[in-house]
Amino acid sequence: MSDLVAYSEKANAWLESVAAEFGRSARKGLSEAEDLALGRRYLKARFDAGYAGINWPTEYGGQGLTHIEKVAFETEEMKFGMPTAYFGISLGMPVPIMMKFGSDQVFAKERVLKALQGEEIWCQLFSEPAGGSDLAGLRLRAEQDGNGWKLNGQKLWTSWAQYSDYGVIVARTDPTVQKHKGLTYFWVDMKAPGVTVRPIKLAGGDSHVNEVFFDDVKLTDDHRMSPVGGGFAVAMATLMIERYVATDSAGFGPHLDLFISLAKEVEVNGRPAIEDGRIRQAIARNYAMRNGLDAITARAMLMMQAGMEPGAEGSLNKLVSVRSRQRLSEMAIDLQGPGGAHFDEHAPVKENWQTSWINAPTGRIAGGADEMLLNTIAERILGLPQDYRPDKAVPFNQIPA
Amino acid sequence: MSLLYDEGQQAIATESRRVLEARVQTDQLLPLLERQGEFHRPFWDTAREQGWTALALPEAYGGLELGLVELGLIALQAGRSLSGAPFLTSSFGAARAILDFGDDALRGHWLPLLARGEAIGAIAFAEGQSPLPANPTVKFSGGKLLGVKDAVSAALHADVAVVLAMNDSGPVLAIASLKDVERIGFNTFDNSRCIADLAFNGAPATVIAQGDAALDAAQHILALQAVITAHEQTGGAEVLMERARDYANTRRAFGQTIGSFQSVKHRIAEIYGLVELARAGALHAATREGHADFLKAAAAARIQATEAYDTAARDCVQVHGGIGVTWEAGLHLHMRRARTLAMEQGNMLFWEDVLVNELAGENA
């Protein structure tokens, strides 16, 4: 048995031992506030058990292992439906960036330890009304204010800002230079005067994203995490940190087995649905595709273990799996006949076709829309030309509206 | 077997690519489309000379004792270069039937010939629209075969066939020399596949499996071939993706290369996705031989690869515009091959059912 298999098995055994307290069944019927509180307790337990910050340095409360163990643990953890969503962004990007770029490392270490134990949550204030995919097109201003800075503007789609204690933010410090060059990276106290968080109710009925307003929010210069005008590079570094994450070929929706079970239970035109050619084709095609994704993921793990950089094809998972989840969810609702209209907006998306379906579009947009991923594949992997970019080599304040 | 190729395997990929790219040209393949009964001899000579015919057979019979992963790599390259004959896969299927289910006499006679490429094998299971009929109409009685097998690939040149037939008590799988068997050729859209009906009129044959075991054995042979073909399909799709990309990077319209248009670049990026899914599925299946989930893995690989090659053929021609539909550009060679490979060893409809039966239980 390889070390990694042993590691996974041990992790699985621990997860099994706390599943009744924190897992899927324990969360049934909880309000969001109760679920968040349970999540905080789970993070503390995970920290105490030695599964927090797996690939982070031990002096920051981490385990000092590699991203391989991290992905292995996440893959096991995902099976149990633990209440980790509130902390995903926080521990995924802003906190490690704080660890790496925070100017006051004593303060940073304190924050990291609290975040790892679920006591504090960080958000990432990147997207704005004027741009999500086009990050460098952001408009929120940071102006010199004495020795410090003053923030004015709006962020949008900020996950879990309503529960966040801190955030990392990219702001425009110079609108007279090209758009990538006039940005600076800061951290902010989300409880500071002038910060207003308003949850946005999404199509599925829940509100994990927010709009965040900044009105003369004052920062001392030690909040700055990049050179003035050097914020874009740190923003890119933030997005690269999460390169190695556990993936799910079901697109973070229900497993294909659930679709097969459903098809065995119900009938289409008086015959078992599992005998219907259309249903069989959907099962076969989805299985074949997900099987390909799983093989890509397994190969990437082997490459990492062998000290190699995994291939670019790993980027396919998000593109392909969420689309398939979306269509399969539609079909699963069809299979339920008129009764498919039943809706429990709080049902977990990995177990319920209706919530999986209505929340699927978010998965195709957040963190890089499908079209952006296709552009990335075409340009970076295949060497096709960049899109026409009228904003290139133009000062930000002269970009055609 | 690992999902990571080792050095030896990488060398097989590199060397087969070098050799086939040097020896196979589109202008040699085009005339074959209009000639019944011919195949691309340089391809087959190369396969024999390079030992590809012996690759996945045991040393005892002159083989090189490698497996599906290695043969898959050769097939992937053959797919890229458009294999000039179906014999690598058909002979491999026949050899594995003889090796896995035949007796010493059959093995001793046929395997060395197949390993050297001196004999060509064919798989004759299909009848009518069914790739694997449970009650075949070809009869086996008194040691002889009687009846017609439809549209058998490689049949015009094969020396030996694995035949699914029926005796008094049920299906049998039999090995037959094709020496005196009538081959009824006909025009196809991909004539170098050397497809013909095989009319058995009392040809002697040796049974290697009976009853349900015969159907299981036939299914297993199809699965082995499907994994090889999935690699070949992946190679075909891959080269089409590259041709679409290269064309989009050079062809200009409206003052820019057409690859600048998202409608074009996204189409090519989608092909890339299909190619990588097919590649991973095919390799995964090759590493699962001998495991309980092999049939499932083979079916999944076959489905994904068929989708990849058909889609790549469709879309690559589309990206090329008018030039893509000319005879000379030769993209239709891939359109044709994508379809023949999709049909050989069971089409999409067949493999979808095999896979769902595996996933949901046979009697679901």
Per residue in B186-227, pLDDT (tens digit) is 999 999 999 999 999 999 999 999 999 999 999 999 999 999
Residue A383 forms contact with B (CB below 8 Å): yes
- The average pLDDT across B345-363 equals 92
Write the CB contacts of A35 (distance below 8 Å, at least 6 apart in sequence).
A27, A83
Residue B154 Cα, gap to closest chain A Cα (Å): 28
- The average pLDDT across A55-70 equals 94
Nearest to A292 among B268, B278, B351 (CB): B278
- The average pLDDT across A105-130 equals 96
Residues of B in contact with A294 (CB under 8 A): 284
- Give me the pLDDT at residue A368, please: 85
Residue A375 Cα, gap to closest chain B Cα (Å): 7
| B287, closest residue in chain A (CA to CA) | A295
Average pLDDT score over chain B = 97
pLDDT at B126 over 50: yes
Residue A334 forms contact with B (CB below 8 Å): no
Parallel, antiparallel or unpaired: strands A195-200 and A209-219: antiparallel
Give start and end residues of each alpha helix (H) in chain B: 7-23, 26-29, 41-49, 68-81, 87-101, 104-116, 212-250, 262-287, 294-320, 331-343, 348-360
Q: Work out the percent of chain A whose per-residue pLDDT is above 70.
A: 100
Domains and CATH numbers, chain B: 7-116 (1.10.540.10), 121-211 (2.40.110.10), 216-360 (1.20.140.10)
pLDDT in tens, B279-320: 999 999 999 999 999 999 999 999 999 999 999 999 999 999
Nearest to B4 among A285, A306, A377 (CB): A306
Residues of B in contact with A256 (CB under 8 A): 359
User: Looking at this predicted complex, what is its ipTM?
Assistant: 0.96
Q: Other C-beta atoms within 10 Å of B306: how many?
A: 27
pLDDT in tens, A318-359: 999 999 999 999 999 999 999 999 999 889 999 999 999 999
pLDDT band at A309 (very low <50, low <70, confident <90, very high): confident
For helices B294-320 and B348-360, the axis angle rounded to 10 degrees is: 140
CB contact under 8 A, A285 and B270: no
pLDDT in tens, A144-196: 999 999 999 999 999 999 999 999 999 999 999 999 999 999 999 999 999 99
- Give me the pLDDT at residue B178, please: 98
Nearest to A122 by CA among A188, A194, A35: A188
- The average pLDDT across B232-255 equals 97
Residue A280 forms contact with B (CB below 8 Å): yes
| A385, closest residue in chain B (CA to CA) | B260
Q: Work out the percent of chain A whose per-residue pLDDT is above 90.
A: 86
- The correct answer on CATH 1.10.10.60 for the domain covering A3-120 is no
Maximum distance among all alpha carbons in chain A?
A: 76
Cα separation, A315 vs A305, whole angstroms: 19
pLDDT at A258 over 60: yes
- The average pLDDT across A69-84 equals 94
For helices A256-265 and A316-335, the axis angle rounded to 10 degrees is: 10
Query: How many A×B Cβ pairs under 8 Å?
Result: 136
pLDDT band at A133 (very low <50, low <70, confident <90, very high): confident
pLDDT band at A1 (very low <50, low <70, confident <90, very high): low
- Give me the pLDDT at residue B279, please: 98
- Give me the pLDDT at residue B362, please: 61
Nearest to A385 among B2, B260, B364 (CB): B260
Residue A302 forms contact with B (CB below 8 Å): yes
| A371, closest residue in chain B (CA to CA) | B266
Nearest to A288 among B262, B273, B300 (CB): B300
- The average pLDDT across B83-96 equals 97
pLDDT band at A392 (very low <50, low <70, confident <90, very high): confident
Residue A312 Cα, gap to closest chain B Cα (Å): 10
Nearest to A382 among B269, B307, B351 (CB): B269
Tell me the HSE value of B87 on the side-chain side, using a 13 A CA sphere.
Answer: 31
Residue A59 forms contact with B (CB below 8 Å): no
- The correct answer on CATH 1.20.140.10 for the domain covering A256-381 is yes
Cα separation, A31 vs A238, whole angstroms: 32
pLDDT band at B66 (very low <50, low <70, confident <90, very high): very high
Give the SS3 label for residue B171: strand
- Specify the range with the lowest mean pLDDT, choosing from A33-42, A129-138, B56-65, B141-150: A129-138
- The token pair at B31 is 């005339």
Residue B91 Cα, gap to closest chain A Cα (Å): 27
CB contact under 8 A, A320 and B249: no
Average pLDDT score over chain A = 94
- Give me the pLDDT at residue A131, please: 79
Query: Can you name the residues that pair with A168 across neighbouring β-strands?
Result: A124, A187
Enter the CATH code of domain A123-241: 2.40.110.10
- Give me the pLDDT at residue B364, please: 43
- Give me the pLDDT at residue A320, please: 95
In chain A, where the domains are located: 3-120, 123-241, 256-381
| A259, closest residue in chain B (CA to CA) | B360
- Residue A245: Cβ-neighbour burial (10 angstroms; 0-12, 13-18, 19+): middle
Nearest to B355 among A274, A284, A383 (CB): A284
Give the SS3 label for residue B11: helix
Residue A77 Cα, gap to closest chain B Cα (Å): 24
Nearest to B281 among A263, A288, A374 (CB): A288
- The average pLDDT across B74-92 equals 97
Residue A320 forms contact with B (CB below 8 Å): yes
Calculate ∠ Cα B346-B349-B354, nearest 5°.
Answer: 75
pLDDT band at B363 (very low <50, low <70, confident <90, very high): very low
- A309 vs B333 pLDDT, higher one: B333
pLDDT in tens, B38-62: 999 999 999 999 999 999 999 999 9
pLDDT band at A17 (very low <50, low <70, confident <90, very high): very high
pLDDT band at B37 (very low <50, low <70, confident <90, very high): very high
CB contact under 8 A, B352 and A371: no
